Each structure stands twice: as C-alpha cells, then as structure tokens.
Structure 1
Amino acid sequence: MSNFRESILLPEQNRNISEIPIASRRKVLGAIGLTATALCASSTTASAGWLFKKKDDDMPVVKVRTSSNQRSTSQNLSRNVGGFPDEWTRLQGSNIAKYADYLNSLKMKKISAQDVISAHAKQRGDCWNTLPPKEWWARMGYTLRVIDRISEIMDISVKEIVSAYRSPQYNARCAGAKKHSWHQANVAVDVQFETSAYHVTQTARAVRDRGLFKGGVGSYSSFTHIDTRGTSVNW
C-alpha cells in the first residue's frame, strides 16, 4: 500500500513559480519547504489509487482512506455555527451540529466550521443544497486543509468559501456547473481570499506543483477552484 507521499505528492516542478510576483514568490518558496511535511503529518491519507468513475453517468466517485489523528493548532477559531435559513436548518436537522463537530476537529487555522457550512446553506429556485453524506466528510477535510495551508503560506485570510459540496440536484441548477463536477464528490472548493483571485490561483498552482497536493486549480474572475481529485489539472 502506498503511503501518503507516494499517492498524493507530485515531484518537484518549477513551471508556475515564475508567474508569481517576486515578493509573493519569496514568501511561497520560503514556506514550501515545510508544506509537504506538515500535510504528511495531517489526518488524511489517500489510498493507492484515487478513482474517477462514472456512476449512473451523473457524478465522479472517489475512494479515500482516512485516519483519525489530528494536527494541533494554537489558533482558536470560533466553534459556534448558526444564522442559517430556517427552512434549510430544518431540512438538515442534527447533521449541522455533527458536521460542525467534524470540521472543528480538523483544527484549521484560517477556516472555521461556519465558513464551510454557510457554503451549503444556499438555494437555487425551489432547490436547497445539502450537507455532504456523512461517509464523504473526510474527503472535504483534506481539501480544506490544503486551502488552510495555502492561506498560511500567503499569510492572507480566507474571505469566503463560495462553494463546497453540491448535491446533484443543486449542481444541476448552478449556471456553468459541469454534470460531473467534483463538487458533487465533496473534494472541491471555490474560495475567495482577501486578495485577487489571480494571485490565489498562481500561488495554489505553484505550491501544488512543488508537492502540496494533486488536484485541479481553476481560475475565475472572483474566486479560485481548488480540488484534490488526485490528478493535476489547470483551467
């Protein structure tokens, strides 16, 4: 069975570092040396193969093996969640508190449970999005820790988790969303930072290509898509 480094980390590559402004490049390169080590010690490991299959021709299927050890942090984000639409809260029931407990257990430095859950409490027409299935929670844990680490490297706060898990029904209502969106597999996040999306995109690609994770990085005008599908893709 492959270990975390064998199954997730990429060989060193330098192709995107030159695209980052010099000041940001120095900050990124100074932090990259610690990045792979930090994530290798984290709670999520991947199986030897991340599998992409089509199930009923409507969504990707990902197989991820996880462990329960968690990395500690000295920063205390708020553990409280709330303020969601009443109808959505009623539909999700006790899963809201349970998912918040899981997210808080990740002990992220820059992302709170409120940030993540708020991305799910959205409606398109008469269709509400939902929280992810419980058996898929650990998939998002790895993606969130990647984003949390990128935030640390840039030393810039996350402004908003725009989108995380999308149910198939909700995804079908999202303009421009692909039928086989990785958001449906709970491994993708659209995120805004307190800086330009271009800067975030270039930094995410640079640290990925230096070994932080394997996944997709998509550039949009107001946010960056980051996922941990297991194959590196840019758009």
Structure 2
Amino acid sequence: MTNITLSGSVGISGKNQRKDIMAVQEALNLVNSSNPVLKPLVVDGKLGIKPEKSKTVNAIIQFQKKYVHLQNPDGRIDVHGKTHVKLSSAILKLKAHQNSSILTAHFKWSEFSCNDKDNTPVPQDLRTNVKNLASQLEVIRSEIGKPIKITSAYRTPEYNRKIGGATNSLHVTGKAADLQVSGVKPKDLYEKIISLINNGKITQGGVGLYTSFVHYDIRGTSARWGK
C-alpha cells in the first residue's frame, strides 16, 4: 500500500503526467530535507525535453541507489513498483517521527505541518524559522495562561496557491501562524499580542485580526491589519 498517489510512471520513459511528477518532487524533497547538501527540487511538474538530464530524474536515481539499493537504477518510478513503495514508506516514517517530536514545552512539530492532504512536515531548511516562531508562541501562551490552537502554520507553496494565500505569505517560510485560544475572543488575543510586542516580550512582526483567529508572524517589522 502506498501513500503517494500516482496515475502513471514518472522518470525516464515514463508517462510523466504533471500531477504525478509534482507528487514525486514533493516526496523527494521531504525525504532529502534532512540533507543540507541537497537543494530542494522545484515542484513544477516538469522534467524538460530530456528527462534523463533533469534534476528530478537524478534525484530518483540517487533515491534508488540509497534506499532501494538498485545496482542499476533506471531513473523511473512505476506505480506500485519497488521505488514507489519504498518512497511511500520513507515518507510515512518521516511523518511519524516528526508528528511525535517535541518542538517546545507545549508545541509539537506536527502542529506546524501544512494543512494539505499529506500534512506535509516542515522542511529541514525552514525549521529554524519555526523554532523561533514557536518560542514566541510559548511567551504568548504563558501570558494568556491558556493553550493555543494553531489553525495554520507552515504551508507548501502549492498549498498556499491553492487556498489563495498571498504570494509573499510568511506561512510559506515557516514564520507565521494563525492562532485561536478557547475562551478568548480574537480581538482580545490580537490586542494581547500587540501589547507583548510593544513591551518587548515577543518579536516584532505582523498581527492580523480575523473573525475566528489571529495571524502572528515574526517578519521583524511592524504590520497590523483587520481592525
């Protein structure tokens, strides 16, 4: 059973449908996120005129060598084939690890994962941003004296576009979170966060008031909206 849905093969001599290529690119980026040497693939659903020379196919080959242990990797992922199954397994293990990992005293990494259908974990290169954000949320939580519910934090660029998020949304870089606190009106939470910023207790950033939640980000400069 696989958790990466493909309708056709991807790679050298594959059917190479755009949505399948994008699914593979996203999956390979997750698997390789712990390796700072490897640059993330551009998730564009393209392999170019010569797939065999594309970065995506090269990433498939490297995955086949390291994880599938193929002596002669073919640079292709076939539906329910060895590489497909192994890639799905690697993703499941990664998610299970991140979901159980403690980020701060009151927050887990899973709370900052993307709200897409795959609950995409925070990429390795954005984890420092999320750690900094979480440390600010700990201060807010302590000052309010109640648990904070994160309704949206990290977003993949694809998910951000899908929901109509701003092109330069700080959710994409792991620097923003939308917050709710049970028993506290969004307006009161909004004002509390601004007060903490003004008193130098948390990082200056963007604070937005919405009907059911408050947006807070650590951009480093002041931005206010919604009031």
TM-score calculated relative to the size of structure 2: 0.54
Q: Deviations over 1:7-50 (max 9, x none)?
A: xxxxxxxxxxxxxxxxxxxxxxxxxxxxxxxxxxxxxxxxxxxx
What does 1:7-156 correspond to in 2, within 5 Å? 92-100=91-99, 104=102, 106-109=103-106, 111-117=107-113, 120-123=114-117, 128=118, 130-156=120-146
What is the CA-CA distance between 1:187 and the residue it aligns to?
0.7
Q: Compare CA radii of gyration and give the structure with the larger one.
A: 2
Q: Deviations over 1:91-127 (max 9, x none)?
A: 84333244346x51x4323x3444334xx2433xxxx
Q: Which residue of 1 aligns with 2:153?
A: 164
Point out which structure has higher relative CO (alpha carbons under 8 A, 6+ apart). Answer: 1
Alignment pair present for 1:183 and 2:171: yes
Q: Deviations over 1:183-215 (max 9, x none)?
A: 011111111111111111110011011112121
Q: Which residue of 1 aligns with 2:204?
A: 214
Unmatched 5+ stretches in structure 2: 1-41, 43-87
* 114 and 99 in structure 1: CA distance in 2 versus 1, 3 angstrom threshold: closer
How many pairs are equivalent? 137
* 168 and 91 in structure 1: CA distance in 2 versus 1, 3 angstrom threshold: farther
> Structure 1 residue runs of 4+, over 6 Å off?
none
2:189 partner letter: V
Percent identity (aligned):
25
1:99 partner letter: Q
Instruction: Classify the secondary structure of the residue corresponding to 2:180.
Output: strand
1:186 partner letter: G
Contact preservation (8 Å) 2:129, 2:174:
yes
* 166 and 214 in structure 1: CA distance in 2 versus 1, 3 angstrom threshold: same
TM-score calculated relative to the size of structure 1: 0.52
1:122 partner letter: D
* 91 and 214 in structure 1: CA distance in 2 versus 1, 3 angstrom threshold: farther
How large is the RMSD of aligned CA atoms in angstroms? Answer: 2.4
Q: Which residue of 2 aligns with 1:234?
A: 224
2:188 partner letter: H
* 165 and 92 in structure 1: CA distance in 2 versus 1, 3 angstrom threshold: farther
Q: Which residue of 2 aligns with 1:199?
A: 188
2:185 partner letter: S
Unmatched 5+ stretches in structure 1: 1-55, 57-88
